[in-house]
Homo-oligomer: A and B are copies of this chain.
Amino acid sequence: MKQKKNVTFNDIAKYTNFSKTTISRYFNNPDSLTLENQEIIAKALVELGYKENKVARILANGKTEFIGIIIPHLHNHYYSEMLNQILLTYEKFGYKFLVFIGNEHEETERQYIEELLAYKIEGLIILSHTIPSKELADLNIPIVTIEREDRYVCSVNTDNHMGGVQAASLLAKHNCDILIHINSPTSTDVPAYGRITGFLEICEEKHLNHRIIYRELGKSYEEMQENALDIITELDEIYPGQKKGLFISNDTHANVFLNLLMRKHGKLPDDYLIVGFDDSPISREAVIPISTIGQQIDKIASEAVSLLVEQMNERKKRKPVPLKEPIHKVVTPILCRRETTEK
């Protein structure tokens, strides 16, 4: 299995006439050695071609420096960029990431968590929605969730309510005759529900004519197009000539609506304003750049890992004080005004 036996502390110890302990100290507490001895060992290391073995170290001290991640998939920008930003925190904290794609399959995800626990991960980041937070909390290891039901565990989320407020306010400022929020049916316990409450808050506060269309647009692009076309046809019928402010739950969907309108009219008609959500690349790359509520994915990711690291550090103390209440952090979204509202 191994072609040539690995060089171990023992070999180095014999070679340098020190003890294994001293070699160990060279790595973990070098200041406790004299400078000369440090140099002797350093030289021996290269001469023998030593390669560290962190597996052995883990077994001895229990610190794997592993964080597990369960993420539904990487098909959209939100998840892939989130994973990207999480992985980048290695530079800051040094934790390695074991990543599993859950596909929102509950039983599978449970197995993945079992596997992660077998590898003695020190913490867990959950982005999938399947397993209830109560069950996650019972795992009894540091956990942070991102943008999902989070009652019993720590979490970092976008301030979705604020996002809804920003979107509605922007449309209101442009004197839309009617504000329309298009979203799939959303459970009240996921953070994204805040987009709806935020939207409603502004509409009611300012006594604006408004409406929410709950509809599952579908998974394939073709489905989305069909459903979006239905909605547009409906809106054109009900609100002819009125200025319609569309707040759409994500940029991909917003782009579908935009394209439909563009192909119908050769341009974005004056009676349509569009605001998306996420600030994903498509909002920038659309024929007409789409105004959107930008999620600060980098901040969310680094906050999530920080929050996790704090909990993991707490556990390493002699007298760990577990959190009384889960901590929920919130990251403010950023309004991006682009051409679909500022023509």
Q: Is the CB of A284 within 8 A of B1?
A: no
> Is A221 interfacial (CB 8 A cutoff)?
yes
Among candidates B51, B120, B140, residue contacting A118 with C-beta atoms closer than 8 Å: B51
Residues of B within 8 A of A287 (CB): 259, 262-263, 286-287
A4-17 contact mask (Cβ, 8 Å, vs B): 1 or 0: 00000000000000
Among candidates B88, B98, B252, B288, residue contacting A96 with C-beta atoms closer than 8 Å: B98
> Is A107 interfacial (CB 8 A cutoff)?
no
Residues of B within 8 A of A74 (CB): 74, 80-81, 83-84, 87
Nearest Cβ on chain B to A288's Cβ, whole angstroms: 8
Asked, given contacts A259-B285, A282-B282, A287-B259, whether A118 binds B3 with beta carbons under 8 Å apart, the answer is: no
Among candidates B97, B259, B266, residue contacting A266 with C-beta atoms closer than 8 Å: B266
Residues of B within 8 A of A83 (CB): 74, 80, 83
Complex-state Cα separation, A63 to B1, whole angstroms: 9
Residues of B within 8 A of A267 (CB): 266
Among candidates B119, B262, B284, residue contacting A54 with C-beta atoms closer than 8 Å: B119
Q: Is the CB of A84 within 8 A of B62?
A: no
A215-234 contact mask (Cβ, 8 Å, vs B): 1 or 0: 00000010000000000000
Residues of B within 8 A of A285 (CB): 221, 252, 255-256, 259, 282
Query: A315: nearest residue on chain B (CB-CB)?
Result: B1
Nearest Cβ on chain B to A119's Cβ, whole angstroms: 5
Among candidates B56, B80, B96, residue contacting A80 with C-beta atoms closer than 8 Å: B80
> Is A337 interfacial (CB 8 A cutoff)?
no
In residues 47-72 of chain A, which contact B (Cβ within 8 Å)?
Answer: 51-56, 58-59, 62-64
Q: Is the CB of B120 within 8 A of A53?
A: yes
> Is A131 interfacial (CB 8 A cutoff)?
no
In residues 163-191 of chain A, which contact B (Cβ within 8 Å)?
Answer: none
> Is A90 interfacial (CB 8 A cutoff)?
yes
> Is A115 interfacial (CB 8 A cutoff)?
yes
Q: Is the CB of A75 within 8 A of B81?
A: yes
Nearest Cβ on chain B to A231's Cβ, whole angstroms: 17
In residues 1-46 of chain A, which contact B (Cβ within 8 Å)?
Answer: 1-3
In residues 243-267 of chain A, which contact B (Cβ within 8 Å)?
Answer: 252, 255-256, 259, 262-263, 266-267
Minimum-distance CB pairs A-B, first 6: A80-B80, A74-B84, A266-B266, A54-B118, A74-B80, A287-B287
Can you report 18 A-B residue pairs in the complex whose CB atoms are below 8 A from each other?
A3-B140, A54-B119, A55-B55, A55-B119, A59-B59, A74-B74, A74-B81, A74-B83, A75-B84, A80-B84, A84-B101, A96-B98, A96-B115, A96-B119, A99-B99, A255-B285, A256-B285, A281-B282
